[in-house]
Amino acid sequence: MTAPTSSRRSFLGGSLGTLAALAGAGQTGPGQARADEPQVIGGIPSRSIRRPRATSGDRVVEPAWNERLTVTVGPRDADIVGTSHKALQAAINYVAGLGGGTVQVLPGEYLLRGSLWMKSNVRLLGSGLDAVLKKHPSHHTKLAIDSDWYDQEITLEDAAGFAVGDSVLLRTKNPHNGGQEVAKRTLVARSGNRFKLDKALRQNYWQMGDSTCWSLFPLVTGEEVENVTIENLCLDGNREKNAHLDGNYGGCLFFQDCHDLTFRKVTARNNHGDGISWQICHDTLVEECHSHDNADLGLHPGSGSQRPVMRNNRIERNKIGIFFCWGVQYGLAENNQLDGNTYSISLGHRDTDNIVRNNTIKNSGEVAVLFRPERGPTFCAHRNLIEGNTCVNSGPANAAAIDVQGGTELVTIRGNRIQETRGTEQRIGIRLGKDTKDITLAENSIEGVAQNVVQMT
């Protein structure tokens, strides 16, 4: 362990202090004013705006309407009666077409053959565990005829089980470099085993590339949308009856290239992939959610996502609990309960300036908090704060509860409690890789392990 220089210590303290101020307890999401402070709009506190009006294009000042547009969907006694993804999508499209509002999902089980595509300014509100969106069992087949990149149709070798309106995932090997190509599409027309797609392929799907079509999709998804809320809803991936879908393409929730997303009181369970995944999505708030028993990641703040806030969630029995993907910055993971995940919290590729604070982490299969080694120091997770977490019973007999690998630099690990109740064995409290630099350890409580801190040489 190397003590940081005064200049680096000043930089670390400044950057993490700013993060702590922005993400402190009692505050709202990133960039928003505290509840006890007036929001300043153009130099004028919002409290002084006595008669707010709905003005075209103004999302900052809005009257507190007594009633807003809500459309109900359910098996009976609803505005739209039905339990399919088509019924739910019709409600989402209707509300979005009027500028936004709420789609209320009434109690019942909804067996989905396709994704729900969220629109901007729409809130999808469930009925807790009484409203379950469940994925249809998956199936797949080979493509019977080549389709070129400009084609908007495919021909299936065996079309049994596929229907117009289904969401599908197409896979092939790139004929030039052997890499996998993936496309998500919807089947919109049909003649026998020949289907039209909602969009052209934009890749070559040839038989020589072992091209296949799968009924795999995220349950609720969105691309290039903003101001979306998913709340009080249960999503079931039907893991036992579905093939695997990587979290870069799907999840119970999956969003790409979006901003201002709120996921609150969502249950994401039993998915053969991720629970909740968002890629290149900024200012995402995930709170009071329960992500459990998913094959891959519980929460997946994906590549390039800025300022995610994940607080007061339960994350249980996933391969990885919270996975900071590539270039996740200025994020906050706070007051979460993680239990029985193989890797509980993982940071790596250019995940800088994040705060992991006051989480309770129990029964990790391999490690409680991992800093991945990556491809070298320029790729590692620098300038992160690990503070006030409780780590109980982490990993096998030779594991470390907090494992900082690779060329990770300028990390502060402060005020954490590490406890082992299963016997000391060769267990380590905090392990620092030989290429790590400027790792600050302070006020950590470590008990029940063979070695409190190990600096690898």
Question: What's the pLDDT score for residue 51?
Answer: 85
Question: Would you place residue 44 in the very low, low, confident or very high pLDDT band (cuts 50, 70, 90)?
Answer: low
Question: What's the pLDDT score for residue 14?
Answer: 43
Measured distance CA(391)–CA(375) in Å, rounded: 28
Q: What is the CATH number of domain 101-134+218-455?
A: 2.160.20.10
Question: What's the pLDDT score for residue 60?
Answer: 79
Percent of the chain past pLDDT 70, that is, above it, reads 90
Q: Which residues contact 18 (CB under 8 A, 6 or more apart)?
A: none
379 has a pLDDT exceeding 60: yes
> In DSSP terms, which residues pair with 111 in a beta bridge?
134
Residue 100: helix, strand or coil by DSSP? coil
- Mean pLDDT across 224-248: 97
Measured distance CA(115)–CA(134) in Å, rounded: 11
Taking the CA of residue 298 as centre, how many other CA atoms within 13 Å lie in the half-sphere pointing to its CB?
32
Question: What's the pLDDT score for residue 21?
Answer: 42
For the stretch 264-282, pLDDT in tens is 999 999 999 999 999 999 9
Measured distance CA(198)–CA(20) in Å, rounded: 45
CB 410 within 8 A of CB 12: yes
Torsion sign over Cα 457, 345, 259, 182? positive
45 has a pLDDT exceeding 90: no
Question: What's the pLDDT score for residue 64?
Answer: 85
Question: What's the pLDDT score for residue 58?
Answer: 84
Measured distance CA(314)–CA(307) in Å, rounded: 20
Give the burial class of 53: count Cβ atoms within 10 A of its Cβ; 0-12 exposed, 13-18 middle, 19 or more buried: exposed
30 has a pLDDT exceeding 90: no
For the stretch 357-372, pLDDT in tens is 999 999 999 999 999 9
Per-domain boundaries in the chain: 101-134+218-455, 140-214
- Mean pLDDT across 326-340: 98
For the stretch 404-454, pLDDT in tens is 999 999 999 999 999 999 999 999 999 999 999 999 999 999 999 999 999
Question: What's the pLDDT score for residue 49?
Answer: 78
